[in-house]
Amino acid sequence: MITQHPEYQYLDLLKEIMKSWGKKELFLTPEVQQQYIDRGEEFPYITSLFGRMMRFDLREWFPLLTTKKVFLKWVIVELLWLLKGSGNIKYLIDNNVHIWDERWWKKYVEMKKLEWETDLMDVKAYIEKVKSDEEFANKYADLGPAYPVNRRHFKGHDDREADQIAWVIEWLKNRPNRKSYVVSARHPCYTYEMAREWESMALPPCHTTFQFNVNDQGELSCALFQRSADMFLGIPFNIASYALLTMMIAQVTWLKVWEFVHFIGDAHIYSNQIEQVTEQISRSPRPIPTMKLNPDIMDIDAFTYEDFTLEWYDPHGTLKGEVVNIGGF
């Protein structure tokens, strides 16, 4: 029985961060700094707390936040992309999900500068080019060892590849009681500040590690460690995404589902989100929705957008916020 609405974990953390308001500087590239100077604006900053945890019981409810509308289509399409094993965002763009557009566009600009090109497309033109030109997309919309690649094609020092998701599924079916089902996204040899430029990731992964565990009742849980957490924009998506992943893994391994546990390193709010966060924490959570998966899908790679059905979702209105562009890779 739920004694308190689980969304209060999230709202209480927002309140705690706001109450402890500080001013932590962001790394901004000189180009981005100049943009703020040209507009006469103060550099954005964050306030943060270190080391927090939230738990969400998935047995009856689905933790899609209700104090603002969360666009579930973006969550589902991104999750399916994360499971495809390719760092190319054409799949996202083709499905009208634009979470990653600007980061990938920035990489395109950097690549073009290395090619001594000066006639560069803006973000909108870049998106249209990715949609229409397969060759262009293969070259300029693929960032190599990003999240999907490390989940499905994690490379070792000797070029062996590990499909971490397939490994987890196979062994959960056969030996569910083991404690070693850990998926890693962070690879020091590909983190851009440690790696050779042409082998680096576009950004160090925020979702560094997640682990699956089965209790003595045959119920599957997932725990995520997230090193960096944009509490207003990113975390609502992350909670829903990993809850949904846990449900999918449980279904294809013939297990019941239990919890998603979210460990956060740096939990922060950006200075340009204060007004929106203030509004959100003034709202009361509404009834928790439920999620149904197509029970016929027993292959993790067979899920499509149509296989997910959300019920009883009645959130408060949308709260929009600007993503802070720190620049660089």
**Nearest CA-CA partner of 151 in 208, 218, 77, 71:** 208
- Asked if 224 and 237 count as a contact pair (C-beta separation under 8 A), the reply is no
The burial of 295, by beta-carbon neighbours within 10 Å (0-12 exposed, 13-18 middle, 19 or more buried), is given as: exposed
Strand runs labelled E in 22-70: 24-25, 45-57
Phi-psi region of 144 (alpha: psi -120 to 50; beta: other; left: phi over 0): left
Structure tokens at 22: 């500080």
Q: What is the largest CA-CA distance in the chain?
A: 62
Main-chain phi, psi angles of 26, to 5 degrees: -100, 150
Q: What is the CA radius of gyration of the chain?
A: 20
- Asked if 307 and 247 count as a contact pair (C-beta separation under 8 A), the reply is no
**Which residues are tagged catalytic?**
206
How far is it, in rounded angstroms, from Cα 232 to Cα 213? 28
How far is it, in rounded angstroms, from Cα 293 to Cα 309? 6
Quickly list H helices, 115-234. 123-132, 134-140, 147-152, 164-174
Amino acid (one-letter) located at 160: R
- Residue 267, beta-bridge partner list: 49, 229
